[in-house]
């Protein structure tokens, strides 16, 4: 087992012990152990080989033994027994936003609730409102959390669905009977989360294709199988639909099943206005009896052209005005991943990241980026080991030295992800913030403020002279928790007025600011920055999810600051600071 996997298990043990109401010192020992392991710079193999694990601060004797066992065997009896000793119902309550182990234990002790259903009942009977330490507000929050969990359970993050989509597509394309194949549906439209996957295949011999599809190793259950249509379910609960159509219908079916429904309705309407009927089978004159008389299509472009439209990329097919734009001329060139020249908003081991400044720089260089920026947390985010003034000073120095060393061709910008305190002031001294290359300001606390308070709080931070960009606008975690309430339109206007960038946080769980808000915002003059919010080198890959969302928001490279080459980025970042000093 890797360092990371072991740390996750130690953290889970801490949570399970808390669910049981065990001794707080014991709980803390496991939580600290998980942290110590995560922030370990050295290789775990080496430490264990040289018997130096006991020297790591934060690891007691009992923990060292458990880590060694996990590392060697991949399992731990103590952990298995612990899991068995706790009701599954209590463990699943941990998925409810806002409910930690301590509260679950308290609810279990006071009310005897052991399943989510019983907890829901207790909410309905207002039993939680009367409990000491809970009250009406927390009862409402728990009830809402349960409702969200149900609604969210039905969808799957695009980023996770992607892991399964590509191998299926590759598998289909490798079959000799398959002439053409594509994914479709919301996955192809790059929606942040998908209900199910859709695959379209063009072939004259569907039988073997259907057989292969339902016989895949990863299929847990076949929910439907006909001559040309099948549906399967995978372990994660995600389902996939396959449709095999004759090759000459392929592009019509692909367009139809890519959707969205709203886009299809408008396309069909447009066809009708021209005396045509558009469907998954083809495009034909309304009064013709047979599809043989329909138009053929060698690509989706042909279908759009037949309706006097330029090609509309799948990401934009949401029935939000794309057809009007395509009628007037070509769709703007949307941003592509190759346009990204570097990234801001990333963390290192100085706060809650998993890799050092130089490891992250090496990873940025491997991606061919001209620059990347470090933006660790500030001190108010103590749970993330945020930097105080002294540690930030030291980091500024390390960044300077790294840049001057010439060790990497990728340039490092010195920044911070500075907490926006509940009153809208920033967590660090203005003079120090002004010395950084850039400042990302973010909300990490007091999420329950009213929409008025939250909006005023964020706008105050935007008006701060040191602020370069605003981090994750709403703080949402997709399929996990809603964001805090904030008036996005007012925030966007304030950002434009103060030359502040709003980030498109590319973490697949965030994708915040939402794609639905970008088009009108950039039309008014807002600049975006696609930020992976990386806590490890592999998180740089999140930029792909950010670019998807940017494309759904109609962003071109010109709208995104981190498509600029190094020289121009330095100019833009410096401009605001010089202007204010001068």
Q: Which residues bind ligand DGT (CB under 6 A)?
A: 185-186, 191, 194-196, 198, 256-257, 259-261, 264-265
Q: How far apart are CA 147 and CA 369, in angstroms?
A: 43
In the structure encoding, which two tokens stand for residue 39, read together? 């922030």
185 is a contact residue toward Ca ion (CB under 5 A): yes
Q: How far is the CB of 309 from ligand DGT (least distance, A)?
A: 17
Check: CB of residue 469 under 8 Å from CB of residue 526: no
Q: Which is nearer to Ca ion, 97 or 195 (CB)?
A: 195
Q: How far apart are CA 439 and CA 418, in angstroms?
A: 7
Exactly one of 18, 198, 322, 352 binds Ca ion (CB under 5 A); that residue is 198
318 is a contact residue toward Ca ion (CB under 5 A): no
Q: Which is nearer to ligand DGT, 267 or 492 (CB)?
A: 267
267-275 own/partner pairs: CB under 8 Å, 24+ apart: 267/307, 267/323, 270/307, 270/309, 270/323, 271/307, 274/307, 274/308
Q: How far is the CB of 291 from Ca ion (least distance, A)?
A: 23
Return the one option of Zn ion, ligand DGT, Ca ion, none that residue 442 interacts with (CB less than 5 to 8 A, by type): Zn ion
The residues near 86 (Cβ < 8 Å, ≥ 6 apart) are 16, 19, 20
Q: How far is the CB of 317 from ligand DGT (least distance, A)?
A: 8
Return the one option of Ca ion, ligand DGT, Zn ion, none that residue 376 interacts with (CB less than 5 to 8 A, by type): none
Q: Which is nearer to Ca ion, 11 or 223 (CB)?
A: 223
Q: Which is nearer to Ca ion, 260 or 449 (CB)?
A: 260
Q: Which is nearer to Ca ion, 186 or 410 (CB)?
A: 186
Q: How far is the CB of 238 from Ca ion (least distance, A)?
A: 10
Count of residues interacting with Ca ion (CB under 5 A): 5
Q: Which is nearer to Ca ion, 186 or 381 (CB)?
A: 186
Give 106: exposed, middle or buried? Use CB within 10 Å, 0-12, 13-18, 19+.
middle
Q: How far is the CB of 542 from ligand DGT (least distance, A)?
A: 21
Q: Which residues of the chain form contacts with Zn ion (CB under 5 A)?
A: 442
Q: Which is nearer to ligand DGT, 206 or 259 (CB)?
A: 259
Q: Return the bridge partners of 531, or none.
A: 505
The angle at the Cα of 191, spanning 189 to 194, to the nearest 5 degrees, equals 105
Q: Which is nearer to ligand DGT, 259 or 537 (CB)?
A: 259
Q: How far is the CB of 255 from ligand DGT (least distance, A)?
A: 9
Return the one option of ligand DGT, Zn ion, Ca ion, none that residue 264 interacts with (CB less than 5 to 8 A, by type): ligand DGT
Angstrom CA distances, 118 to 101, 122, 136, 206, stand at 17, 6, 18, 48
In the structure encoding, which two tokens stand for residue 90, read together? 């209590």
Q: How far is the CB of 173 from Ca ion (least distance, A)?
A: 20
Q: How far is the CB of 534 from Ca ion (least distance, A)?
A: 29
Q: Which is nearer to ligand DGT, 191 or 428 (CB)?
A: 191
* Residue (of 523, 520, 460, 454) closest to 494 by Cα position: 460
241 is a contact residue toward Ca ion (CB under 5 A): yes
Q: How far is the CB of 198 from ligand DGT (least distance, A)?
A: 5
Q: How far is the CB of 312 from ligand DGT (least distance, A)?
A: 14
Q: Return the bridge partners of 471, or none.
A: none
Q: How far apart are CA 27 and CA 321, in angstroms?
A: 54
Helix H or strand E encompassing 202:
strand 197-202
CA quadruple 373, 376, 380, 384: dihedral sign: positive
Return the one option of Zn ion, Ca ion, ligand DGT, none that residue 257 interacts with (CB less than 5 to 8 A, by type): ligand DGT
Q: Which is nearer to ligand DGT, 157 or 209 (CB)?
A: 157
139 is a contact residue toward Ca ion (CB under 5 A): no
Q: How far apart are CA 64 and CA 59, in angstroms?
A: 6
Piece of the chain touching Ca ion by CB under 5 A; list 86-94, 185-193, 371-379, 383-391: 185-193
Return the one option of ligand DGT, Ca ion, Zn ion, none that residue 509 interacts with (CB less than 5 to 8 A, by type): none
In angstroms, what is the C-alpha Rg of the chain?
A: 27
Q: What is the DSSP string of 513-560?
A: S-GGGHHHHHHTT--EEEE--BSSGGGGGGHHHHHHHHHHTT--GGGB
192 is a contact residue toward Ca ion (CB under 5 A): no
Check: CB of residue 447 under 8 Å from CB of residue 507: no
Question: Which residues of the chain form contacts with Ca ion (CB under 5 A)?
Answer: 185-186, 196, 198, 241
């Amino acid at each position: 087992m890797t360092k990371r996997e072991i740390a996750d298990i130690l953290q889970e043990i801490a949570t399970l012990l808390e669910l049981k109401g065990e001794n707080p010192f014991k709980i803390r020992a496991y939580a600290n152990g998980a942290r110590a392991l995560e922030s370990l710079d050295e290789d775990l193999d080496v430490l264990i080989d040289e018997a130096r694990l006991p020297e790591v601060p934060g690891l007691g004797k009992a923990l060292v033994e458990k880590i060694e066992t996990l590392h060697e065997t991949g399992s731990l009896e103590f952990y298995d027994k612990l899991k068995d000793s706790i009701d599954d119902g209590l463990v699943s309550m941990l998925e409810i936003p806002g409910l930690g182990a301590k509260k679950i234990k308290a609810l279990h002790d006071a009310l005897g609730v052991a399943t989510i259903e019983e907890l829901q009942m207790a909410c309905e009977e207002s039993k939680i409102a009367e409990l000491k330490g809970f009250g009406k507000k927390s009862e409402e929050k728990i009830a809402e959390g349960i409702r969200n969990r149900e609604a969210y359970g039905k969808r799957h993050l695009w980023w996770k669905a992607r892991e399964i989509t590509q191998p299926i597509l590759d598998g289909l394309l490798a079959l000799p009977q398959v002439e053409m194949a594509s994914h479709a549906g919301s996955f192809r439209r790059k929606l942040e989360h998908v209900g199910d996957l859709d695959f379209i295949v063009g072939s004259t011999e569907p039988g073997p294709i259907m057989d292969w599809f339902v016989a895949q190793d990863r299929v847990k259950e076949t929910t439907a199988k006909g001559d040309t249509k099948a549906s399967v379910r995978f372990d994660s609960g995600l389902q996939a639909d396959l449709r095999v159509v004759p090759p000459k219908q392929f592009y019509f079916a692909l367009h139809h099943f890519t959707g969205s429904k709203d886009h299809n309705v408008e396309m069909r309407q447009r066809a009708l206005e021209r005396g045509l009927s558009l469907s998954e089978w083809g495009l034909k004159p309304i009064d013709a009896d047979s599809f043989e008389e329909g138009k053929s299509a060698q690509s989706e472009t042909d279908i759009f052209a037949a309706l006097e439209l330029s090609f509309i990329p799948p990401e934009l097919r949401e029935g939000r005005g794309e057809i009007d734009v395509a009628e007037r001329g070509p769709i703007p060139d949307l941003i592509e991943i190759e346009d990204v020249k570097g990234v801001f908003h990333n963390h290192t081991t100085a706060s809650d990241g998993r890799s050092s400044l130089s490891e992250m720089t090496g990873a940025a260089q491997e991606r061919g980026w001209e620059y990347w920026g470090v933006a660790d947390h500030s001190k108010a985010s103590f749970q993330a080991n945020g930097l105080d003034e002294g540690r930030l000073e030291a980091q500024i120095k390390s960044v300077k030295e790294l840049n001057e060393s010439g060790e990497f061709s990728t340039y490092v910008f010195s920044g911070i992800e500075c907490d926006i305190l509940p009153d809208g002031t920033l967590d660090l001294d203005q003079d120090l913030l002004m010395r950084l290359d850039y400042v990302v300001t973010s909300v990490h606390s007091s999420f329950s403020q009213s929409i008025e308070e939250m909006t005023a709080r964020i706008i105050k931070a935007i008006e701060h002279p040191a602020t370069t960009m605003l981090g994750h606008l709403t703080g949402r975690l997709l399929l996990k928790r809603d964001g805090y309430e904030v008036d996005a339109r007012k925030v966007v206007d304030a950002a434009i007025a103060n030359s502040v960038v709003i980030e498109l946080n590319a973490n697949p769980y965030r994708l915040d600011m939402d794609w639905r808000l970008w088009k009108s915002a950039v039309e008014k003059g807002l600049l975006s920055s696609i930020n992976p919010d990386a806590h490890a080198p592999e998180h740089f890959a999140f930029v792909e999810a950010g670019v998807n969302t940017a494309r759904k928001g109609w962003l071109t490279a010109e709208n995104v600051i981190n498509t600029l080459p190094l020289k121009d980025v330095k100019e833009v970042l410096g401009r605001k600071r010089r202007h204010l000093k001068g």
